[in-house]
A and B are shown apart, each in its own frame.
Chain A
Amino acid sequence: MSFLTYLINGLSLGSIYAIIALGYTMVYGIAKMLNFAHGDFIMVGCYIIFSVSAALSGNSLVGIILAVILCTLLGITTEFVAYRPLRGAASPLAVLITAIGVSYFLENVALLIFGADIKSFTSVIKWEGLSFAGGALKIQGVTVVTIVISVVILIALQLFINKTKQGQAMLAVAEDKGAATLMGINVNKTIMLTFAIGSALAAVAGALLCSAYPSLSPYTGAMPGIKAFVAAVLGGIGSIPGAMIGGLVLGIVEILSKTYISSQLSDAIVFGILVVVLLVKPTGILGKVIQEKV
């Protein structure tokens, strides 16, 4: 029974990693860039929801919608100002460094506006959750909602990419930018759309992250962002179902290693398992099996 409890805890944490990883992998798979600022987009989304909820005395729905819109705009702007000029630079590392600059920028702007002290976030999910075996096993509402939303996003993204023209364009851009241009695809527009979707997903992920772990500071997004990046790689770069699976696996492994091995060394164990997985499957869990690339 206690194993099941820990497994469910792992699922809760994993579902959060998964939903962040979905947004991460969008940008990562198509623009082929590590957007280190993705975690900070999440943080921006959280602050927007927090501020709007406070202003409207607890109405979080408006906050979420506004956060999605503003994060989308922020994503598009960032792409246009900071990332686009570096497209086609001599090294792909150039844009990575710029992303780090953007990350510092967002963190420090948030620090100046909202201050360093943490704020407690009111969950946007009011539902208590599911209860089994006479209350001995509980699954939190936010976990259920996160998993449902993750699956919905997963299916929607798969459909979008495989069935629509823009989605096909994304695949083409991911495959070969030059060839895509020759095929009449507007690469800039396609990548901008990718960023728009990725940033919108960041806002949604932020709402769920802060609902599950209600502590908000300018650095809230940094660590989950890195963990989501790890999850995306673990699942296989560019694979959308891979990101989802990678996130869940990471969460469950983290909780179980804390439980059964050592809470002090859990970071080392989690990263150790990542190393082992990549040595056995050098392109991640779903890296090769799924041929399509986002």
Chain B
Amino acid sequence: MKIDKKTKSNLITYGIVVAAFILFTALASTGNLSSHMKGLLVPMTYYAVIAVALNLCVGILGELSIGHCGFMCIGAFTSAFFSKATAEILPSGIRFFLAFLIGIAFAALFGFLIGIPVLRLKGDYLAIVTLAFGEIIKNILNAFYIGLDKSGIHFSLKNAMELGLDESGEVIVNGAMGITGTPHDSTFTIGIVVLLISLFVVLNLINSRDGRAIMAIRDNYIAAESTGINVTGYKMMAFTISAAIAGAAGVLFSHNITTLTATSQYFGYNASIMILVYVVLGGIGNIRGSVIAACILYLLPELLRGFSNYRMLIYSIVLIVMMIVNWSPKIIEWRKRTLGKFDFRKNSGKEIA
């Protein structure tokens, strides 16, 4: 049997993820992994997942979104709401699985609804509208109050007092205080499984007929349209799938940290831009790159903790330097020229330095 190039490349991607999983699990079970590193494993998986989602939107669909954390936010809140509301009724395994379905479904629904107006725009205008939707989602969730008591679900957009709960009532979504006490269900294994599924969905999409249509739209939308490709339909499809995967990342997120608040540091434009940094540094359209870049860039500020107050300063400098080294046309040219003359050993030495 002959494996074609693309399949091979995809297998390498899965292989890297699986190898990383085995390696870290082995390290953890033999006691060679510090608590700090152990704590970083789950976040790494969901940042990798959302980087894959954003790369589908930015790299494959070719539309810049700076509000993707909004979808993550929706996935996180809907699933955490479900898990908290049913915490006593359902066993944890089924509950978490249903939470995934709910988080993904809602994120996809919002992706679809938001996609309708957003995808009519182009370029920076589109980017700013995604930013706007991200901020709108965040702002509305901050004013969202949902309570549960014997008579059912109560809802308010003003404050918790307006819910009018009776004594048995419990406020589940408490405005800016968000949801606290979501069961801690996310594990590294589940994170890896979700990452593999997301990769599987995205990589298969790219290599399918639909994916080729989407990329044709990205490369030249008029040409694509004239060959009979349903431009709007495919754009919506890619955007919705991307939102759904971001929702899955949100589910992992909310079930890893027991407090969930809709604040800027998790779901604001700054957070969305951080994900964009992962995507761009990993290579636009390069799904494997996104996964690797997300892990490295998430790890970097953590590994720099030793520098104490200078940590974020060093991080910013590293970021600028990495961007220039990876993207500057002159440096790419220079790299090709100088490295081409030497053998591989020197290359790898160079890369390490």
Contacts and interface: CB of A to CB of B under 8 A. Distances in A.
A293 B313 CA distance: 36
A1 interface: no
Interface string A227-255: 00110010001000000000000000000
A93 interface: yes
B281 A98 contact: no
A229 B326 CA distance: 27
Interface stretch (A61-69, A99-107, A123-131, A134-142): A99-107
A30 B57 CA distance: 27
A271 B136 contact: yes
Interface residues of B, number: 46
Contacts of B143: 262, 264-265
B327 A274 contact: no
Given A271-B136, A282-B122, A85 B328 contact: yes
Interface in B280-299: 280-281, 284
A268 B280 contact: no
Contacts of A87: 329
Given A100-B273, A100-B277, A230-B128, A275 B327 contact: no
B135 A105 contact: no
B132 A274 contact: yes
B58 interface: yes
A97 B158 contact: no
Given A264-B158, A278-B129, A101 B120 contact: no
A108 B328 contact: no
Given A100-B273, A102-B320, A272 B327 contact: no
Interface string B311-353: 0110111011001101111110000000000000000000000
A19 to B, nearest CB: 20
Contacts, number: 127
B17 to A, nearest CB: 24
A89 B328 contact: yes
Contact of A275 (B117, B124, B139): B117
A112 B132 contact: no
B136 A101 contact: no
Contacts of A101: 316-317, 319-320, 323
A111 to B, nearest CB: 8
Interface string A158-188: 0000000000000000000000000000000
A97 B312 contact: no
Contact of A94 (B58, B132, B323): B323
A100 to B, nearest CB: 6
Nearest to A230: B128
B276 interface: yes
A278 B118 CA distance: 9
B133 interface: yes
Contact of A97 (B132, B277, B330, B331): B277
Given A233-B128, A282-B125, 14 more contacts: A82-B320, A85-B331, A86-B323, A86-B327, A91-B280, A93-B58, A93-B280, A96-B276, A97-B277, A98-B323, A102-B316, A268-B136, A268-B140, A271-B136
20 contacts: A86-B328, A89-B328, A89-B329, A90-B327, A93-B276, A93-B284, A94-B326, A96-B280, A97-B323, A101-B323, A104-B316, A111-B312, A230-B131, A237-B124, A267-B138, A271-B133, A272-B132, A274-B132, A278-B128, A282-B122
Interface of A: 34, 36, 82, 85-91, 93-94, 96-98, 100-102, 104-105, 108-109, 111-112, 226, 229-230, 233, 237, 262, 264-265, 267-268, 271-272, 274-275, 278-279, 282-284
Interface of B: 58, 64, 117, 120-122, 124-125, 128-129, 131-133, 135-136, 138-140, 142-143, 157-158, 269, 273, 276-277, 280-281, 284, 309-310, 312-313, 315-317, 319-320, 323-324, 326-331
